Amino acid sequence: MSMLYLDNAATTPVRPEVLEAMMPYLTQWFGNPSSHHTVGEAAADALADARARVARLLGMRAGDVIFTSGGTEANNLAVKGIALGAWQLTGRRHLVTTPIEHESILESAAYLERMHGFAVTRVPVDRQARVHPDAAADALRDDTALLTIGYANNEVGTVQDVAAIAAIARERGVPVHVDAVQAAGWLPLSASELGVDAISLAGHKVGAPKGTGVLAVRGRLPLEPLLHGGGQERGRRSGTEDVAGAVGLATALELAEGDRAEASARVTAIRDRFVARVLATVPSAELTGDPVHRLPGTASFTFAGTSGEAVLLELERRGVVSSSGSACAAGSDEPSHVLVAMGVDAEVARTAVRFTFPRWLRQPLDAVADAVAASVAAV
């Protein structure tokens, strides 16, 4: 079996169409979009066009779109920027999130606690990593500045009922930020339909280069910038914009949205067959995350009595590249904070293996499931 890359939640290859769209702004029209000459103005026009295209996909206004260096920066700007802006304007100093969020959310919340005296409520999740809307409602207070939640979990793939949670927060006058980094290309991204006020995306999850991302945040919300300088991005994110990256991100998102429904249905069927075969052939296998409300391209397991890292090495020997969880926690000996928050025993959590599939997958993965069974048996 040739090498098969099944770690697409960590990153995806850049799509050829994206590279083609970017190339003119890396070569001929490479100008600084703040420069007032022909080359700069061509870059500024391309940046404005990319901004409008992303805004259309998100159901927001072009002026709401802030280009960033990726999902981590977008999440930091959302959590810190919106929370600090609300504190300055209204005195609110309480944040609501969950214990299964990406590290960029959790560390931003910890920063607000440590440096600015914010109170942070982390809404518990159930065994399948679901946040119940009633629990989110109970966490809201009169001084809540922001509720921030992941649309789909990056480790186990569980999808949250963001619309229901956002509706509750909206009734209480609390803005909602959703981390949609993993959802892009799989789930609807309209902030208007979800009822959220801010949404984060990362380009390299959908076929754009690493180092590209976006935070779209409604203009009515006060936002304290993280980066100060020349006032680019309407003063909310200073620094010379990556025009080619913005064009690439817009192109990748449009391509992903164009066949999202078909790809999601196709990959879901392949995933379900793969999951069933692994559970049938590996006695110690346990699927993690919600079996129904999950990303089409994510299948994550624990294999009690093994070592997750040893299983990964055996899989790679058999031509399958996957991961033990979040790439942002690579090299850590600690069990997954997501699995622990779900109630999984710490030792069992260390046996986790995550398979994340590309959107263009069309063939069944029976051979991969067989490789999983052989790899687990070998350790």
Q: What is the mean pLDDT of residues 34-55?
A: 95
Q: Which residues are catalytic?
A: 328
6-11-13 Cα angle (round to 5): 85
Q: Which of 185, 177, 195, 184 is nearest to 101 (CA)?
A: 177
pLDDT band at 328 (very low <50, low <70, confident <90, very high): low
Residues in the chain: 379
pLDDT band at 332 (very low <50, low <70, confident <90, very high): low
Q: Tell me, which fold does domain 4-12+259-378 have in CATH? A: Aspartate Aminotransferase, domain 1 (3.90.1150)
DSSP class of residue 80 equals I
Q: What is the mean pLDDT of residues 182-192?
A: 96
Specify the pLDDT at position 2: 76
Q: What is the mean pLDDT of residues 98-114?
A: 98
pLDDT over threshold 90, residue 245:
yes
d(CA 257, CA 178) in angstroms, rounded, equals 18
Question: Hey, is 121 helix, strand or coil?
Answer: strand
Burial class (CB in 10 A: 0-12, 13-18, 19+), 89: exposed
Q: What is the mean pLDDT of residues 311-334?
A: 81
d(CA 153, CA 166) in angstroms, rounded, equals 17
Lowest mean pLDDT among 26-40, 74-88, 134-148: 26-40
Q: What is the pTM of this model?
A: 0.95
Instruction: Give the whole-number percent of the chain exceeding pLDDT 70.
Output: 98
- Name beta bridge partners: 152: 159
Q: Tell me, which fold does domain 16-258 have in CATH? A: Aspartate Aminotransferase; domain 2 (3.40.640)
Q: What is the mean pLDDT of residues 336-362?
A: 97
- The yes-or-no answer to whether 4-12+259-378 and 16-258 have a common fold is no
In the chain, domain spans: 4-12+259-378, 16-258
